[in-house]
Each structure stands twice: as structure tokens, then as C-alpha cells.
Chain A
């Protein structure tokens, strides 16, 4: 059912990384998941210094936490949208915050979705299932950007 596109998970909390990966696994989402632990790492991954393609190609989806060491999620999102190569990249904010200002800022910077991580793990698994299904399987992206990046 799922294709072989990569998913980039930007998350600093190891518990959350583990739980997220578990949720993917429980939902049988077998795509490659690249995990980076802060904003800078995420940027380094997407915009390698020599401007080469990431080793596993451009991700099909970025799951981005907001509160990150070094470079925070909003800035990462902004950089993604500013760059020609990544401006159409689906970015889903996955965070604990349900603050209005975080929501507003994220949408202003052009996030594609905003999901608050539920405390209840059951609900969390369900959320991961839905977003994986939607962004990786159902959602279509323009081919032009794809061909450029590939």
C-alpha cells in the first residue's frame, strides 16, 4: 500500500521518537524514516553544504516538532518554504503545544497540517496512522518539483 518515499522526523525527545516510530510500525508504515534531533540537523539534512541531494533523496513528508534545540521548528519551516527546491515539501507540525499563537505562526509560515500530540497513546497511534495515510499515500504533489529534486 505504501510507497518507498522517505519521511523526515524532526524530534529532540527520545521518548517521543521511540513512541512515534512505534506508532508508525503499529500502523504498518514501512517507509524509511530519517530522524534528526534538532533544527540545525534538519536543515543540514535538507540543504547539504554542497547542495547535493540528501543521501536518501528528498523526503515525501516532514514531521516537525516546534520546540527544538538550536534552530526551532518555525525557522526550519520558514527555510523550507523559502527554498525553491523544498518550497512544496509537505510539512506537518507535530507538537505538544496547543497554543493559539503557535498555530497561527505555523500556518503563517506555510505548514500543511498541525497536530497536537495526544497524551493518550491510543489516540497518538490513530493520529499517526491518519497522517501517514493522508500525506504519504493520498496526497499528490506537483511533478515538476519532484523531477527537479530527483
Chain B
């Protein structure tokens, strides 16, 4: 029986354990604590019963009760065990419910998040969505659509009622509206989608560009719903335009570079070439394809330029400022091209070199020009050298002239300092040349004496040349006269004074002597004139008395005078008259010198014919053959020439009167055509002559022919005063001509004369032509 008891106790402990383990799962603490505690305590009580039994040695065990207790313990253990299963079930059930709930909460959160994200996405992308009922023309839109229209909307509701189609259309700009209308009509009637960029004017009046896309939902061939999105693309369009502009500019720049004559090349630091333009290709001789493989550093650049280029690029890298340098390229065919590079650099954000680019100029021509220039310079230097030598020679010559010139030459600068001088000038100043150079114009004793200081400064400032004759007491205390010329010239654009002076003391002295002589001559002339006047006036009066009263005697006392007395009186009268004639002729001779000369064109032939006519009238019985050549024109004084012609013809007439066949000629010839040309005249000078075949004269006396009162014949042979040829000679002399005669006794005489400077008309007109 004891065994039963022990088994039931063990079972009871098991039941308490089960309760503790399994009910605890239910997480109902009170339930499992109470249950397991109750079972545990029951097991304890049974254990105490067992102890009592064992210790009392009285063994009184109710077998039946014990068995029932054992059954109860078994049942309790089984019960607790199965309740534990129930709790498990409950627990698993509860866990499933909790999971479902969690799932639902998660789904809701997800939806919320999506909603928010959508809203944010819409706001950021400025995209809104809408739906339109084609029948009612009402619809819904997302709040972004409202925002695009600048219309109010509810923040919390993503989707909300829109304004409807009719009102919505009003927000578009007129031309956009037309496009939209067309598209909507097609969408609703034909079910076609559209995608448009339109201009919208928002509620606030802001112009916006929108892209609107619509897709109709079609059922049974009918549009039942129009669904679409709208996006504000104002910014995008602006950006796009800007990009367009930039792109266009880039294209233009690229085009310019492409078409430019200026070679442009891009090069990477590793030596590869980047973009190059055709001009670069042309310059280097490589085509565009080949250039891709060309190394600018090792292939294009000759090695001797490598270091220089490296330094230039280093500098460029350091400063970032473009550098300009010259080098050479090796052309594909191997020849060298001198170039100038204008190199630039492009770096990335980290300051690493991305590439270089350079504008390259072919300076072949420039180099050539430089060489040419250098050649010219050399040539010029030679020229300058030659010119300098020339100038040196000239300088020496001018020095020589300066030192040997018979005039004083001295130059002063604008401050009056003596710059150059010569010995003659120094002599006039009474100084040495060295002293002269230390002397200024305003302090110079010479200038003070001459009183020309002001004039000199005036010439310096005005530039007007001055010429003065200055008298002063020279250093040697004698009175000197100089002819001073002042003129201005420029040295290095500064005015200088050039003074030259010639000592004209001697000239002035002789001029004064001449003046004095002239004055005396004038006085003599005046005396002579007074004398002539007296002669003409006073000497003739007595002659008139002699003649007059002789005549009176002859008339009043005719009957008282015998023939001899009458003859004497006649002789008295003839003598008086002859003296009157002599006086008249002498006066004539003296007057010739005093006449004012008046030159005009004269026909000597005409003058001669008039004279011959008068002579013929006076002696009509004489038969004389007179030949007067045509064209005997001269330019001379008419009164003088009349004296000449009248006297010469009268002589010819007179001395040929004994000839039976008297001839008189008046001609002209060239001097060289004469039998004996006059050596004092030029060959082609015209010589006039008057020739007769009369009494002639003895050439032995030809020198006396032209003297006053010189007669070749006695008065009984030929009358005359002997003054006629003297008058002729003086008249010809006044004309500047020569007169000479040729004759033989009883074989006629020829009187030659030439005209002087006035000359014949022909000579004069030739002179005019020469001018």
C-alpha cells in the first residue's frame, strides 16, 4: 500500500510541475501560481502522511482510500497536462491574431507613407494627376494640380475635387486653349491620347508652361474616363532654352575654331593631342586621323625646344595665366615651321591638369620679315655710315668756308650765347675766337657799339631777315662801316641767329668819294647849263644887233654906200649869222647829253625819206639817186635819231653835190658781212650805214671827223659849222651804239653806226623770246 501512496505523491508532484511549466505559457500568472502551489501543497500533505505512517510504526492504511487517492493523482496529472495543451492552443491562437493586427497596421502605415511620398513627389516634380468624367465634365485632381493653378487645396487629402473641364480650360493662354480644345475633342470622341506643352495663366496671373498628358479609359469603344497628369515645366523650359543657347554658342565656337585660319590644338600632358582644327592639320601636314596618333611633345616639337616648352608650361601651370612663346613644329614632311603659341591651361577641381590648348600662329612670314628688316637695318647702317662720312666732309668744308670766308660769320643761340664764329668775325669784334665764344650777344662791346642788340633779338623772335649798314668805332679806334645781315635758323628746333658782316669801310669811303665827285660834277653841270643859257640868250643878242643894224645901214643908207661898203656890210651880216648858227649848233650838242632818253620803235627809213624830201625841196634842181632799204626799224629815242639821220643825210647830200650822178644809200647789214667788221661788235649785230659817192675824205684824218669844229673842207668848198658829226656821235653814244666812217678823197664816204642795248626791233624781240 505504501507503494501506492508513494506513486500518488510522485504523481502529485508531477502535476504541480506540469502546472508550473505549462500554465505559465498562458502568461496568466495568478492561474499558474495558484494551481501549481495547490498541487504542490497537496503533494506535501500526502508526503507528511507518508512520514507519519513510517515513523509511527502503526500502520493503518486505508487501502481503498489510498487507491482512490492514487486515481485522483493520476487524473490530476493528466488534467494539468491537458490544460497545458489548452493554454498552448490559446497562446498560438492569440499569437496569430496579434500577427494579423500587426500586418494591418503595417499596411496602413505603408499606404500613408506612399501617400506622403506621392504628394512629395508631386510637389518636387511639380506633377499632378487628374481624372475627368466625360459625361459630367467634373473630375478630381491631386493637390499638386491645384498648386499649379495657384488654387486652394486641402493638405491632408491627396486627391480632391477639381474645378471641372469648363473652368479648367479658362486657365490657359488663348492659343494654348485652342490646341487643348482640339486635343480634348479628339480624346473624348475618338479616344486618342495627347501630350502637349501649353502656356497656363494661373489664378494669380502667373504665366507657366505645363506639360499635360491625357489617356482616355475606354470601355466598349466609349471613353468612360479621361485620366492625365500635368507638370509645371516653366523652369525646365527656361533651363532648356538656356541649354539651347549654350549649345548653340558652343556649336558656333566649335564652328569658328573649325573654320578658323588660326591653328588651334588641344594637348594632354601625356603628349596625346586632343581636338585640333583643320588649320592645325594644314599647318602640321597630318590629316585629322593621323593627328590622333601624333605626340605633340615628341613628334611635333624638335628636341631642342623641349626644355623651353617645359618651362613655359610649368609657368602656365603655376600662374594659370596664358603664356606666349615661340618654337618650331616639325612638319609631316620633315621641314621646320616657326610658330608662336598662345598656350592656355585647363585644370580640374583638384588642380590636376586636364589639358592644354593653344592658338598657334605660323610666323614664317614674320620671321622672313624680321630677317628682311635686319637686312634693311644693316643696309641702313651702311647708308648712315656713308652719310655720316659725307656730313663729316661737308662739316670740314663748311669749317673751311667759315674760316676762310672774307666776311665775318657768327651764330648765337636763343639765349644770345655765341655758338660758332670765324676769325674774320673775331677780328671785327676785336677779340680772339676763344674770347668770342665766351661772349654773349647782349654783353658784346661790338653789338653795343653797333646798336643792333634789339634788332638781333627781334630777328630771333620774328624770323624776319634784317640787313643794316652799321657804322661804329672799331677796336682799333678807327671808324668802321659794316654791312650786317641777320637771319634766323633752327638747330634742333631751337631758333638761332646767324649774323654775317662784311667790312665795307673802304667801299663806303670810295662811294662817298664818288658821291662827292658826282656832286661836284653836278655843280659843274649846273654851271655849264648856266653858261649855255647865257650863250643862248646873251651872246645872240649882240649878233642880232650886228646883223639888224647892218641891214638897217644897207636899207637906210643904200645910196651913200659904194659897192665895197655894201659888200663889207654883207660880210658882217654873214659872219653874224654864221656865229648865230655856231651858237645854235653848240647848244644843240650840249643839249643832247641833257635830254631825257625816251625809247620807242622807230622806222629810220621813214625818217630818212622825210629828210630827203625836205632836202629835195630846198634844192629841187639836184638829181640824186637815193636808195633807202625797207625795214630799218630800231628802238631808240626819236629826237636823237632824227638828229642822226638829218645830219648824216644832209652831209651826204651836201658832199655829193658836185657829182653828176650823185647816189645816196641807207642800208643795214650784219657786222660779220662787212668788208671790215667792227671788232668791238658781235658778229650778228646790225650795222646801219649811209653812203654817198661825193667828196669823201682822207682816212688819215678819220679820227678828227667826229670832233666839234673839225672840218675836212674849207668853208668856200662846203659850208657848215663842223659840229654836225659831233652831234651825231653824241646821239649815237647816248643810244649806246658805235659810229665810225670810211672814205677816200673824191670817192665818197660811208658813215656806219650800230645801235646799243636798245638795239634793233629784231634783236629786242629775240631777247623777249629768250626770256
Binding site for B on A (CB under 8 A): 13, 15-16, 19, 22, 66-67, 95-100, 117-122, 124
Contacts and interface: CB of A to CB of B under 8 A. Distances in A.
A19 B552 CA distance: 9
B587 interface: yes
A15 B545 CA distance: 6
A22 B536 contact: no
Given A120-B573, A124-B548, 15 more contacts: A16-B544, A19-B545, A19-B552, A96-B537, A96-B540, A96-B541, A96-B544, A97-B536, A119-B577, A119-B580, A120-B577, A120-B580, A121-B552, A121-B573, A124-B544
A12 to B, nearest CB: 10
Contacts of A67: 537-538
Contacts of A22: 548, 552
22 contacts: A16-B545, A19-B545, A19-B549, A22-B548, A96-B537, A96-B540, A96-B541, A96-B544, A97-B536, A98-B536, A99-B533, A118-B544, A119-B540, A119-B579, A119-B581, A120-B573, A120-B577, A120-B580, A121-B547, A121-B548, A121-B550, A121-B573
Nearest to B583: A119
A16 B551 contact: no
B576 to A, nearest CB: 6
B591 interface: yes
B69 interface: no
A100 B544 contact: no
B569 to A, nearest CB: 12
A15 B536 contact: no
B721 to A, nearest CB: 13
Contacts of B549: 15, 19
B interface: dominant SS: helix
B470 interface: no
A13 B548 contact: no
B543 interface: yes
A interface: dominant SS: loop
Nearest to B540: A96
A96 B538 contact: yes
Interface residues of B, number: 26
A66 B538 CA distance: 12
Contacts of A124: 544, 548
A13 B543 CA distance: 13
Interface of B: 532-533, 536-538, 540-545, 547-552, 573, 576-577, 579-581, 584, 587, 591
B261 to A, nearest CB: 98
B544 A121 contact: yes
The 8 tightest CB contacts between A and B, nearest first, are A119-B580, A15-B545, A121-B548, A19-B548, A121-B551, A96-B537, A96-B540, A119-B543
Contacts of B581: 119
Given A96-B538, A97-B533, A97-B537, A19 B544 contact: yes
A16 B537 CA distance: 12
A12 B701 CA distance: 47
A13 B541 contact: yes
A15 B541 contact: yes
Contacts of B536: 96-99
Given A97-B537, A122-B551, A117 B587 contact: no
A15 B537 contact: no
Nearest to A117: B544
A115 B577 CA distance: 18
B587 A15 contact: no
A86 B214 CA distance: 144
- Which of A119, A122, A124 lies at the interface centre, i.e. has the most chain B CB atoms within 10 A of its CB? A119
A121 to B, nearest CB: 4
Contacts of A66: 537
- Which of A13, A99, A122 lies at the interface centre, i.e. has the most chain B CB atoms within 10 A of its CB? A99
Contacts of B551: 121-122
A97 B587 CA distance: 10
Contacts of A13: 541
A96 B539 CA distance: 9
Contacts of A119: 540, 543-544, 547, 576-577, 579-581
Given A22-B552, A119-B576, A100 B545 contact: no
A117 B540 contact: yes
A117 B537 CA distance: 10
Nearest to A120: B577
Contacts of A16: 541, 544-545
A124 B580 CA distance: 13
Contacts of B544: 15-16, 19, 96, 117-119, 121, 124
Nearest to B545: A15
